[in-house]
A = this chain, B = another copy of it.
């Protein structure tokens, strides 16, 4: 994943786009890409949407991830570690009913 982040940074720097990539703009971009992903499901069920154009869905999913990686990098935080820590909080908020 760290290698991928470097590739994204290289891509961005080659195009001189770094100046716009502050955390607020990246948060906007993540939200916009998430909406483009959702748009693939606007008028159809989940299964029908995937059958209709799976590649478009995979591409939009990738766009959300690419911006999320840039965002995590600006924050100086690792996505996987952040997810693990959030899962621990979730486990406290929603206790496991199978362990009682």
Residues of A within 8 A of B (CB): 1, 4, 7-8, 11, 14-16, 20, 22-25, 27-43, 45-47, 49-50, 54, 57-59, 61-66, 68-69, 71-72, 74-75, 77, 79-80, 82-87, 89-91, 94, 96-99
Could you give 7 example pairs across A and B, Cβ below 8 Å? A4-B84, A11-B96, A14-B99, A23-B41, A35-B36, A63-B86, A69-B83
Copies of this protein, total: 4
Cα distance A90–B33 when bound, in Å?
14
Q: Judge whether B65 and A4 touch: CB under 8 Å.
A: no
Q: Judge whether B65 and A83 touch: CB under 8 Å.
A: yes
Q: Judge whether B83 and A4 touch: CB under 8 Å.
A: yes
CB < 8 Å: which of B25, B36, B40, B68 contacts A42? B25
